[in-house]
Amino acid sequence: MSDKLASLADGILHRTVSAAGGAPGVVAMATDREGNIYEGAAGKRELGKDQAMTTDSVMAIFSTTKAITGVTIMQLMEEGKIRLDDPVRKYVPEIASIQVLDGFDASGQPRTRAPRRDITINDLLLHTAGFCYEFFSHDDLKYRSAKSIPTVVSSTFDSIKTVLLHEPGERWTYGVNIDWLGKVVEQQRGKRLGEVMKERVFEPLGMVDIAFTMSGTMAERRATIHDRAMDGRLTPLPELVLPQPPAMDMGGHGLYSTVGEYMKFIRMFLNDGAGPHARVLSADTVNAMSRSGLAAGMLSGGWTTSIPSLSNDGEFLPSVRKTWGYTFQINEEDAPTGRPAGSLAWAGLANLFYWIDRKTGIGGYWGSQILPFQDVSSYAGYVEFETAVYRSLRP
């Protein structure tokens, strides 16, 4: 850890948790190809309590789960068990009943029709199938309400049997796609997704404190999710925990982890698929995952909230062209933080953010537990942190 980076990053974490309206607690880490070059924590696991946020604190990592599920799918592809252009109904027949939304009638009931073609594995990996989330789409939320479909945080199969907002392949729409891919993995491996991840990702990378169902020691170190009200006030929500154990291992959002465990996953990508104990992916597959898979002219953009208590409106790097790979957002131009074009990144609902810069050999993760998404304090701190990492690399 360089003194320059430690000084810059420590200051950012301190400001993030100590400023009026700041985050309750934050863990941030950065790594090169060999190991972590910065580890820091600040604040509390829960406001009003004495437990400090520590580098081994456990968090609900929400959509940063997605890339791990993506790896288990690409492993199946490497083994020839699936093809990316396969129709998903070949493995998960229930997806064949999903319809395209064609509006609502005068009584608020949805009108639907069959999609013009099958949803493929490729569509799900790229978020082009037409699925969305209830908190990013008023139409998806209205459809769920009309059909009594449970929220995705219920961690049930029924929660992803929603509706397509457009034809498969028509555009990029972020949603429950990766949860369906988790079902493909389970069908092919004959095991729960969490078991597959443990055998084929976690153990080869030496990842221990990560699971859909927390161990006892993980639960003892869990950081509490907080709600930020419209006036900026933060309230702890200690009872807000994803189902333990879940009815379904949600490949799109269900894991609990420490930031340190996720750094091992990031390093695997920096090392072209190799882990300390075994290779997880081939270098060719990592290269394929790091390229845009979207059609020419199609971009990955921002989002509009339909449930303000869960997410603010927003977009990452709004001045930068962004596309999507398997399963990351890719900035096609250099970012103002110093992150070069072609890097990989994504985030989790409770204000967790990461990036993987294979060109420079640097990655990082910023973890907090706050709703709604793209929090005014935590997200700003993350951008500062990423910028500080690149500043510290300069002579």
CA distance 329 to 334: 13
Which amino acid type is present at position 144?
R
Which amino acid type is present at position 151?
T
* 198 is a catalytic site residue: no
- Across 331-349, b (16+ Cβ under 10 Å) vs e yields beeebebbbeebbbbbbbb
Instruction: Please check whether residue 43 is in contact with residue 53, taking contact to mean a CB–CB distance below 8 angstroms.
Output: yes
Name which of 168, 108, 192, 182 is nearest 143 in CA terms: 108
Helix or strand (DSSP H, E) at 323 = strand 322-324
* 66 is a catalytic site residue: yes
CA distance 1 to 181: 38
Report the SS3 class of residue 103. strand
Report the SS3 class of residue 111. strand
Name which of 55, 74, 56 is nearest 66 in CA terms: 74
CA dihedral 20→238→261→389, nearest 10 degrees, is -10
Instruction: Please check whether residue 366 is in contact with residue 353, taking contact to mean a CB–CB distance below 8 angstroms.
Output: yes
Helix 177-189 to helix 66-78 angle (10° resolution) is: 40
φ/ψ of 113, rounded to 5, equals -145, 165
Single out the catalytic residue among 38, 44, 66, 264. 66
Instruction: Please check whether residue 152 is in contact with residue 63, taking contact to mean a CB–CB distance below 8 angstroms.
Output: no
Dihedral of alpha carbons 170, 173, 175, 178, sign: positive
Single out the catalytic residue among 133, 174, 256, 262. 174
Instruction: Please check whether residue 23 is in contact with residue 375, taking contact to mean a CB–CB distance below 8 angstroms.
Output: yes
Single out the catalytic residue among 38, 44, 57, 63. 63
* CB within 8 Å of 340: residues ≥ 6 apart: 334, 357, 359, 360
Which ranges in the chain belong to alpha helices (H)? 3-18, 66-78, 121-126, 138-147, 177-189, 193-197, 203-205, 216-220, 259-270, 283-289, 378-393
Residues with active-site annotation: 63, 66, 174
